[in-house]
Amino acid sequence: GSRSQPAVFSMCMSCIFVRVARFCVLYAFCCFLPSRSPAMGNLIKVLGKDLENCPHFFLDFENAQPTEAETAVWNQVSAVLEEAHGILAELQSYNGAGQEIREAIQNPGDLALQEKAWNAVCPLVAKLKRFYEFSLRLENALRSLLEALTSPPYAPMQHLEREQALAKQFAEILHFTLSFDELKMTNPAIQNDFSYYRRTISRNRLNNQQLEAENEVNNEMANRMSLFYAEATPMLKTLSNATTKFVSENKTLPIEDTTDCLSTMACVCRVMLETPEYRCRFTNTDTMLFCMRVMVGVIILYDHVHPVGAFAKTSKIDMKGCIKVLKEQPSNSVEGLLNALRYTTRHLNDDSTSKQIRALLQ
């Protein structure tokens, strides 16, 4: 739901008061130090370090609208994202044909039960095919956004600040990806249904029988779908492969331009979540969770694409800060996101990952 204007105004005034009070305390502390005191220099250095390394600006995930320069890419990606809501709804209501399959397997000689299981599985496999084909369209949409958000002469931070509507779409793709993969991981019926379908197709092929369903999902398509659904997080794998491919195909574009785009967005999300002045500008209660999902999504993507990953000391992502922000939220809303960092990243268990970061994620 939306907050009322007086409530938002009250929150913002509180944020401003906190910020002014914080500045006054720091200023008073600095006044008591000698002008050339090392402590004063270190204090200023510490205070400025985060500002220097992490961009501070509000990325309007709620209201960003495309400028004329963004319109072509925005329209292309928007057409894909419009379908994303339906895909998630279908996946959420996916119940599978477990009962019919069990009965068919337990009674191999009962042709009526075999036919019943087959008729239950075929429409589900057609649905799984739509999900897979959507992943290909999502891959193309991501590529268009990466091209727009990394093109010279602007740096990633400038792109994200200037082209907020495209940045919002990039965030929506990541939000969809994590949502899809969470639902897929908790639904074993998907793998069971597809395995039964493939076994039945193979058995009938051996008996020289051609089933009508093969016209929709032929052997080649079934092989590609099988590889897709074998992944614990298939949509994330699709995005990771697409990003890696984008980097390898654009030889003139340094890999840092792409990974900096990811690390900058992770940083912007973290700053927005931990800064009251920014947080009080969210008018929708779901925006906090959206922001957290996006932060985790870009961390995982960065970890898959960057040679040394997100957890190394040289990483441009403040992993301690990001994990801390997540842990400050109610556990029921972030446990899935913490698990995503624990189990879907590539470099968490590398020797280069500090014990402190590993301990935070235990």
Q: Tens digits of per-residue pLDDT, 292-344?
A: 999 999 999 999 888 899 999 889 999 999 999 999 988 888 888 898 899 88
Number of domains in the chain: 1
Q: Residue 16: inside a domain, yes or no?
A: no
Q: Residue 11: inside a domain, yes or no?
A: no
What is the DSSP secondary structure assignment for residue 4, as one 8-state letter? P
Q: Residue 51: inside a domain, yes or no?
A: no
Q: Would you say residue 47 has pLDDT above 60?
A: no
Q: Residue 7: inside a domain, yes or no?
A: no
93: exposed, middle or buried (C-beta count within 10 Å: 0-12, 13-18, 19+)? Answer: exposed
**Global confidence as pTM:** 0.78
Q: What is the mean pLDDT of the chain?
A: 81
Residue 14's pLDDT is what? 46
Report, in angstroms and rounded to the nearest whole number, the Rg of the chain calculated over CA atoms.
Answer: 25
CA angle, corner 91, sides to 2 and 126, nearest 5?
145
Q: Residue 303: inside a domain, yes or no?
A: yes
Residue 76's pLDDT is what? 94
Q: Residue 9: inside a domain, yes or no?
A: no
> Lowest-pLDDT range, 201-210, 219-228, 252-261?
201-210
Q: Residue 30: inside a domain, yes or no?
A: no
Q: Residue 63: inside a domain, yes or no?
A: no
Q: Would you say residue 220 has pLDDT above 50?
A: yes
* Owning domain of residue 164: 70-361
